[in-house]
Amino acid sequence: MASSRQIERDAAQWLARREGGDWSALEQAEFDAWLAASTAHRVAFLRLDAAWAQSDRLKALGAGAASDGVPARGQWLHSSFDLQAPRAESMPEPPAPASTGHDAAALVFAPRRSVARGGRGLRYAGVAMLALLGVASFWGWQRQAVVEQASYRTAMGDLSDVALADGSQATLSSDSRIEVALSRSERHVELQQGEAFFDVAKDARRPFAVVAGGRRVIAVGTRFSVRREGADLRVVVTEGTVRLESEPVGGRRQPTSVLPAGSTAFASRSGVLVRIGSVEDAERQVDWRRGYLVFRDTPLSAAAAEFNRYNARKIVIGDAAAGELRVGGNFRWSNTEVFVRLLEQVTPVRVEHHPDRIVLHSR
């Protein structure tokens, strides 16, 4: 049984013979028999034929060339499409050799005569080469051509929903920025700043990779968020499974973390910490998409930092005792005044209001 590589070569030869002209009824019968001999034959030929049909510009290279053989050396460089170059027939004859020595650079070879069938063979070989080049360039373009390349960003206090060309959805948090590059072989997003939630359209052939610093978060079809804070990263998975990869450190490969739904990963210079919880817990961590911040026995210093991600007027912790107080509840991140008012009522906190900041002191 022929290998797939040999079948591809045979299919290219049949395509070359058909495109080369002088296609006889006998050749058509032989071709039909070859196609009928194997499903693999039919699939290989149909694939090549489709690629050849979409590579007509390669066929155009032969326009105006003689049909009884391979074009002379240099003729492609001076075709009728090159308006700046002189025509091939106007080129001066090469000068005669200055000596009869055996300088290889001065040797001139006369064209080789061949019978008609041999000429057809050369023509078939040329067309076959163009067919294979066309297939390679077409499939390479199919895999590498950019479908979407764009930048998206949000201002402080704004959220933005972005529909990507592959059917995925990205939600950018406050003061965030992403770079998107989608091709037919891969989906690449760079999180340059802030946080984004991704609802990834499933496509097993094109993994969806979010890059942030020296980390890569890879998914096929799932829902997760990625937050970048300097060199640190937080990944929250609300559906499906994602893979967290890290760049080598000191030439040593770092372990890969597999994150199921409900898990949260914290990546820093010291390593990766993964916490497995419920999907409900994970969803609460991304409630910022609905305008809320959810705290569960959270240090006041951490709660203030969350509010500061969405507001230009910052909450400042006045002393360590105030920062260590624990808070809980659901709060709108757009309403800092309500949050600090409640703190004054239910915790031992004293509030100082300034035009550009709110300072919290312990009492």
Threshold 0.85, pTM exceeds:
no
Q: Name the more confident of 137 and 240.
A: 240
* Residue 125: predicted pLDDT: 57
Question: Pick from 187, 185, 194: which is nearest to 216 by CA?
Answer: 187
Q: How confident is the model at residue 228 (pLDDT cuts 50, 70, 90)?
A: very high
> CATH 2.60.120.1440 occupies which residues in the chain?
146-284
Quick check: 303 and 282 in contact, CB under 8 A?
A: no
Beta bridge partners of 235: 226, 265
Mind listing the pLDDT tens digit for each residue in 153-163? 999 999 999 99
Q: Which CATH number is correct for 146-284, 2.60.120.1440, 3.90.550.10, 3.40.250.10, 3.20.20.70?
A: 2.60.120.1440
Q: Which two tokens stand for residue 236?
A: 């929250």
Q: What is the percent of the chain with per-residue pLDDT over 90, rounded to a whole number? A: 51
Mind listing the pLDDT tens digit for each residue in 276-323? 999 999 999 999 999 999 999 999 999 999 999 999 999 999 999 999
Q: How confident is the model at residue 214 (pLDDT cuts 50, 70, 90)?
A: confident
Mind listing the pLDDT tens digit for each residue in 114-134? 444 455 555 555 555 555 555
Mind listing the pLDDT tens digit for each residue in 47-84? 777 676 655 544 433 444 444 444 444 443 443 333 33
Give domain 291-362's CATH architecture: 3-Layer(bab) Sandwich (3.55)
Query: Taking 90 as the threshold, does the pLDDT of residue 92 lie above it?
Result: no
Q: Name the more confident of 244 and 250.
A: 244
Q: Once rounded to an integer, what is the mean pLDDT over residues 25-42?
A: 84
Mind listing the pLDDT tens digit for each residue in 163-182? 998 999 999 999 999 999 99
Q: Once rounded to an integer, what is the mean pLDDT over residues 91-107?
A: 45
Own/partner pairs for 275-281, CB < 8 Å, 24+ apart? 279/238, 279/239
* Residue 128: predicted pLDDT: 56
Collapsing DSSP states into helix, strand and coil, what is residue 228?
strand
> CATH 3.55.50.30 occupies which residues in the chain?
291-362
Q: Over the chain, what is the mean pLDDT?
A: 80
- 191 contact partners, CB below 8 Å, separation of at least 6: 176, 177, 178, 210, 211, 212, 226, 228
Q: What is the percent of the chain with per-residue pLDDT over 70, rounded to a whole number? A: 71
* Residue 49: predicted pLDDT: 73
* Residue 353: predicted pLDDT: 95
